Amino acid sequence: MVILRVLFNRFLSVILDILPLLLVIFIFQTFVIQKPFPHLEQTIVGIVLVLIGLFLFIMGLESALFPLGEGIADQFAQKGNVFWLLLFGFTMGFSTTLAEPALTIIAGKAGQLAADSGSIQANDSTISDFVYGLRVTVAVSVGLATAIGVLRIIKGWPLIWFILSGYGLIVLATYFAPEQIIGIAYDSGGITTSTITVPLVTALGIGLAVAIKGRNPMSDGFGLIALASLTPILFVLLYGMVALEVS
């Protein structure tokens, strides 16, 4: 009974979280657009599936992904080997980002639009190479950001140093980058806030801050996602300078 009560409360919490969005859609569809919902049955089924999916996803985060990330970070911290810890941070950031569904979709769309605009050659091979290069560029940037963030936690360096210097480089790179890559670059920073990367990277940072003596989980454990959102912008801007033909 206790487990069922917990599951019910979690599912109710998911419903309450998504309820404002549903209300906004209902109000605008009914009172502003003033038309019936298209494919109402399919919409209802889709909403139910979204609720179930969010419920399962949150349960998976709390029961598996967060404990896994924190546990691995604690074990690496106890071993005291900085090299392996940095390598783990890089590979985890790289692999989780490369697996992001959002990155696959955005990179594919960017490749097609780049071909349509004449920025790259409009053939399957060139488009495929551009899309793959874009995905790898973002994944490498997040892996590097995760490794740097891990080193920052170990050394106790202030996060603001990295934020200010990082965005300074972004502004400079924006000035020289091709215009058609700028929007893609800035949007690519949001890819790291998607479903796979955030839980594991956040758990890694919190786990390290808890395991390392003298670190505060609140002030030191967070911030990895900020770095992971910053570096893709810079890297994609640089990638655009190399990969795109400026007309």
User: pTM of this prediction?
Assistant: 0.77
Phi then psi dihedrals of residue 146, to 5 deg: -65, -45
Of 57-61, 88-92, 131-135, 234-238, the one with minimum mean pLDDT is 57-61
Closest CA to 90 of 158, 50, 150: 150
Instruction: Please say whether the dihedral angle defined by the alpha carbons of residues 169, 156, 192 and 83, taken in this order, is positive or negative.
Output: positive
Q: Give the pLDDT confidence of 138-172 residue by residue, as tens digits.
A: 999 999 999 999 899 888 889 999 999 999 999 99
Q: Terminal CA-to-CA distance of the chain, rounded, Å?
A: 66
- Residue pair 163/230 in contact (Cβ under 8 Å)? The answer is yes
Retrieve residue 107's tokens. 């990179």
User: For residue 180, which of 118, 133, 103, 132 has the smallest C-alpha distance?
Assistant: 118
User: Contact 241/180 with Cβ under 8 angstroms?
Assistant: no
The mean pLDDT value for 220-226 works out to 83
> What share of the chain has pLDDT > 70, as a percent?
92
Average pLDDT value for residue range 46-57: 83
Domain residue extents for the chain: 65-243
Q: Rounded CA gap, 239 and 47, in Å?
A: 38
The label of the residue with tokens 């770095």 reads 227
